[in-house]
Amino acid sequence: MTLSETGIPLTFTNQIAVVTGAASGLGLAISKKLASLGAKLVLLDKEIDSLTTQPALAEMTRYAVDITNEEKVSQTIQKIGDQFGQIDILINSAGITGITNIKSHETDASNVRQVFDVNFMGSYFTSKHVLPWMLKKRYGRILHIASIAGKEGNAGMLAYSSSKAAVIGMTKVQGKEYAESGITVNALAPAVVQTALVDAMPPEQVRYMTDKIPMKRCGTLDEVANLSIYIVSPMNSFTTGFTFDLTGGRATY
């Protein structure tokens, strides 16, 4: 159920929303929900052609972008701003886990860098170049998708946990920096959510994470999308620099 279905008016009409990692998983679920509520979407993903198979998103503006390349990100954001004259929402959902189920002394530095480049640097680049457009209107909503792993650390997931902790740290900084500008910057920290990314992980790693959840199940894409919609809505006007919990009771702080 979305907020609009509860009788609370919720619309994103005339709002321009940029979503990274839009071709699959959390990004795809959030994009569909935003589209259903009237947002004009700009979808960014390295595998953007797969979006043509999504009827609700096939006509949306799409860019194939490597978010680890700041020059490409800057050029793409400039094109979006020039085309629409505004950017109201940024949702950073692009992410990778990297190699998991491996202890710290066995990790490979190149893999750790790759995970940081996508999960942290990608979110940094997009928010850096979107913020000036939001400042022009003195309005904006930025949502960085983090993880419970960034709060607590998951054994066997050094790169992923550390990169998501960095995303949470960036959220706190940006929330404070733009608190008086009409722009909110928040993060969402899900526990394990049933996605293709999780399906590709070793079963023992998924069990390790699921066993920590008091509800003893994975989160769903609908649950992620519904909370995300509230976070980037006009109704969320007095919360910034915060990391929202979506963990089935695992994190109560």
Describe the crossing of helices 109-116 and 158-177 by its angle, rounded to 10 degrees: 30
> DSSP assignment, residue 211?
T
Given the residues 160, 178, 208, 230, select the one marked as catalytic: 160
Q: How far apart are CA 131 and CA 10, in angstroms?
A: 24
Candidates 170, 184, 190; CA nearest to 235 is 184
Candidates 252, 55, 41; CA nearest to 152 is 252
Half-sphere exposure of 80 (CA within 13 A, CB side): 34
Buried b (16+ CB within 10 A) or exposed e, 89-119: bbbbbbbbbbbbbbeeeebeeeebebbbbbb
- H/E stretch holding 117: none
Decide if 139 is catalytic: no
Percentages helix, strand, coil for the chain (3-state, rounded to 5) are: 45, 15, 40
Q: How far apart are CA 4 and CA 249, in angstroms?
A: 26
Tokens of 78: 């400039």
Point out the residues that are catalytic: 160
